[in-house]
Structure 1
Amino acid sequence: MEDRVSETDLAEFDAGGDQQDKLFDVLSNQRRRVLLHSLQASQLPVSVGKLATKLATWEAQQPLSDRSGDDRTTIEMTLVHNHLPKMAEAELITYDNTEQRVALANQTDNVWVHLQTMTSS
């Protein structure tokens, strides 16, 4: 079989760089994707506690094989110590650790393109 990708094609290919890698890393986690949808729907800053409750409710509705088994308190701890800082670093959200409030960042158009592509396939 003939290789149809030329050296020139590969040289011109844009793999997206570090920012693209961060975005894919953040979007690779199901909880983070659910959080983004939840924040998009609210359009206002939301408390971390409310987000944890929404995630726990969402997870309880999933098939048993897809559930993490985490309770609301454990989910809130993973948000505070893992998910929210990672999402803020990727500039997808604004996270006020002192006030425990989260909002969707202004520059998320690129994210919705990726999410729509992922959900349509």
Structure 2
Amino acid sequence: MASLNTIFDLLSEKRRRYVLYYLEEQGESVPVDELVETVADWESSASGNDIPADKFREVEISLVHTDLPKTANVEFIEYDVNEKMVKINGTSPEFDTIINLAKIIEEPESEE
């Protein structure tokens, strides 16, 4: 299992938390574009095509260049740069509990 410091480091950035929440929900490989759209949607409280292009691009740059590489440093997140796919796999019950509690507290889908 990843150390508590590593987990808290991952959770210290909102976009990384959103990525973890979404990956945990999906339970399978997710295209980076889908992650970008979801995070942008949760941040802007817009849906689908209503996300401004500049917001989508801002989130995409942040995820691809900073947040996804950082999350891929833990053993249970697989980030395939070439295929542009991300998957969470083999998390510990402790990690699942922390992520679920954080998501309940933050409620990203309803954020404004």
TM-score by length of 2: 0.74
* Amino acid paired to 2:29: P
Encode CA deviations 1:73-92: one digit per residue, 9 max, x unaligned: 12111111111111110234
Structural mapping, 1:1-121, within 5 Å = 19-61=3-45, 71-118=55-102, 119=104
Structure with the greater alpha carbon radius of gyration? 1
User: How many Å separate the matches in 1 of 2:14 and 2:92?
Assistant: 17
SS of 1:71's partner is: helix
Superposed CA RMSD: 2.3
User: How many Å separate the matches in 2 of 1:47 and 1:116?
Assistant: 22
Q: How many residues end up aligned between the 2 structures?
A: 97
> For residue 8 of structure 1, what is the aligned residue in structure 2?
none
* Amino acid paired to 1:32: R
SS of 1:95's partner is: strand
Encode CA deviations 1:11-60: one digit per residue, 9 max, x unaligned: xxxxxxx8221111111112111111111222221111111011111111
Contact 1:19/1:90 (CA < 8 Å) preserved in 2? Answer: no
Please state how far the C-alpha of 1:114 moved relative to its aligned partner: 1.8
User: How many Å separate the matches in 2 of 1:110 and 1:80?
Assistant: 27
User: How many Å separate the matches in 2 of 1:57 and 1:116?
Assistant: 20
User: How many Å separate the matches in 2 of 1:80 and 1:108?
Assistant: 25
- In structure 1, the gaps of 5 or more residues are 1-17, 63-69
Cα distance, 1:21–1:111 mapped onto 2, change above 3 Å: same
